[in-house]
Structure 1
Amino acid sequence: MNLFDTSCAGHQVLELIANKWTILIMYALTQGKKRYSELKQQVVGVSPKMLIQNLRNLERYGLIEREVYPSVPPRVEYSLTPLGTSLVEPLAVLGEWAYQHIADVKTAMEHYDSNPDLNDYWEPK
């Protein structure tokens, strides 16, 4: 397995998991089954196209399941699969790290942005 190779299955799974919408959708589904409209409201900033695309990818990778109820209009709910549930803890650790280091990241950004020598782009020869 070579995670740096884009044709590697592990690379493709990491690419899905590292997507910002994936993390937010998965987190929303830890609270229980959700309809599309609930996810759209909770995951602020996601476009309808991106939400559908990410839901389809998560379903394809076996992380969520889609249940269609026979009603008019059809009702659809999304929930985590056991495989998706196994990803919740690692994502929670990542989210906790982000919260704990917000100030550090902001300080680093301010330092970088205020120092012209640091943000001067260079290319290796």
Structure 2
Amino acid sequence: MANETLQGARPAIHEPSCRSFQDIVELVGRRWTSAILLAGRRGARRFGEYRGSVPGISDRLLAQRLKELEAEGLITRTVIPSTPVQIRYALSPDGEELMRILQPLVDWGYRRGGPHEDRSAGTV
């Protein structure tokens, strides 16, 4: 009975707000995704620039993640009709907003220290 009262007072994890939180954490936490967003925030525009900014990622996985981020509305893809055709990527306004929102999380991580601490990285 106490369990029922507790559940009635707080939303269950399947509530829309909790599901939304879980979805975005999983998206951002997907391997390479945050590094790709960071590369875009730091000025990568062409596929090769992203590849150079995200060491260790394969071309296939980078292309897949860029498509996923475009489908999520976090990256825009522009085709420039030239010879050869050029493809440019950029953070969308939602992608820029997400990176601003993530900055306090980065700051929190720096305050905690840890094995991946690199204070030269600065901001996202």
> Counterpart in 1 of 2:48?
37
Please provide the CA RMSD for this pair: 2.8
Match of 2:92 among 81, 84, 91: 81
Letter in 1 for 2:99: V
Task: List 4+ stretches of structure 1 deviating above 2 A.
Answer: 1-4, 8-14, 90-106
Q: Any conservation in 2 of the 1:34–1:79 contact (CA below 8 Å)?
A: yes
Deviations 1:63-117 (A, max 9, x none): 01001100111111100111111101232233333344344789xxxxxxxxxxx
Alignment match, 2:64? 53
Contact 1:3 1:11 in 2 (8 A): no
State how far apart, in whole Å, the 2-side matches of 1:44 and 1:26 are.
14
Structure 2 residue aligned with 1:68: 79
What percentage of aligned pairs have identical amino acids? 33
Return the letter of the residue paired with 1:53: Q
**Structure 1 runs not aligned, ≥5 long:** 107-125
